[in-house]
Amino acid sequence: MTVKIAVAGSKGRMGQLIMEEIRKFEDLELVAGFDLLGVGDPLDGGVSVSDSSDLADVLQKSGAQVLIDFTTPIATVENVRVAANLGVNLVVGTTGFSEDQKKEMARAIEGRVAAVISPNFSVGVNLFWKLIEVAARSLEGYDIEVIEAHHRNKMDAPSGTAAEAVKVLAKATGRIEVVYGREGRGLRGDEIGVHAVRAGDIVGDHTVLFAGPGERLEIKHQAHSRQAFASGAVRSARWVTGIPNGIYAMADVLDQK
């Protein structure tokens, strides 16, 4: 069975890579692309870029089964609402949502469609989250620092991947205090430290440092290409068709839960 896919943000870096990934598979078909820029530009298979404001109309006419969205928080929330009302399943890789925006998306999705929502679709990063959970449970009392680095144009800090790492670590250790950056004087508390670097064209580096008496352990993931994210997103688009409605994570796609 061919899975018909629409891509929101089709002119962006991730959108381009996702469409490139779709082309690799005979059972996947790009049926629509949306953006605010380049409207009318040709894409694959006779498809051209549609204005994002025409999302509902084009999704219906194209017969899209899945919408992959890597755009901005405000745009994604609206795209999720429109797609869910039409019964179009979702793969969402946008980051930087507020808690209210997350709740709004959940309300839109509930009972209507299946959605895979993840701050990172890399297979390696999802294993990274599992590894830091195991380490955090084993290294009781160790100091924990999260360090992430991205390109100079990334808008949100810390990254969605780092924020998810903090959630994993907090749950594993019971620590509730999180400190973002440090300055001045004062002793370190029983906290999780978080540091964000924005420089050059770094695709994405994430390190969790566990430091104890006489030793330290570092668990690190480095993304050398955004293709890793595109591959995971397209894998999720195939997986999300034909499953019960609800909100899923990339760990579900990888059967890690």
Do 113 and 134 sit in the same domain of this protein? Answer: no
Question: Distance between CA 92 and CA 160 in Å, rounded?
Answer: 12
pLDDT of the residue at 53: 93
Q: Which helix (H) or strand (E) holds 240?
A: helix 227-240
Residue 178 phi/psi, 5-degree rounding, is: -125, 130
Do 24 and 104 sit in the same domain of this protein? Answer: yes
Residue 46 has pLDDT above 90, yes or no: no
Do 205 and 232 sit in the same domain of this protein? Answer: no
- Which tokens in the block code for residue 143? 């100091």
- Averaged over 189-212, what is the pLDDT? 96
Sheet holding 3-8, edge to edge: 49-51, 28-35, 3-8, 66-69, 89-92, 114-117, 246-248
Model-level pTM greater than 0.85?
no
pLDDT of the residue at 1: 84
Do 102 and 191 sit in the same domain of this protein? Answer: no
pLDDT of the residue at 40: 92
| pLDDT band, very low/low/confident/very high, at 189 (cuts 50, 70, 90) | confident
Question: Distance between CA 65 and CA 188 in Å, rounded?
Answer: 50
- Number of folded domains that form the chain: 2
- Chain segment 108-140, per-residue pLDDT in tens: 999 999 999 999 999 999 999 999 999 999 999
Which amino acid belongs to residue 97?
F
> Which active-site residues does the annotation give?
150, 154
- Averaged over 151-180, what is the pLDDT? 95
- Chain segment 71-115, per-residue pLDDT in tens: 999 999 999 999 999 999 999 999 889 999 999 999 999 999 999
Structural domain of 237? 3-117+226-255
Residue 185 has pLDDT above 80, yes or no: no
Do 166 and 113 sit in the same domain of this protein? Answer: no
Residue 45 has pLDDT above 80, yes or no: no
Question: Distance between CA 206 and CA 152 in Å, rounded?
Answer: 15
The Cα diameter of the chain in Å comes to 63
Tell me the C-alpha to C-alpha distance, in Å, between residue 229 and each of 55, 81, 150, 182, 242.
Answer: 24, 24, 14, 31, 22
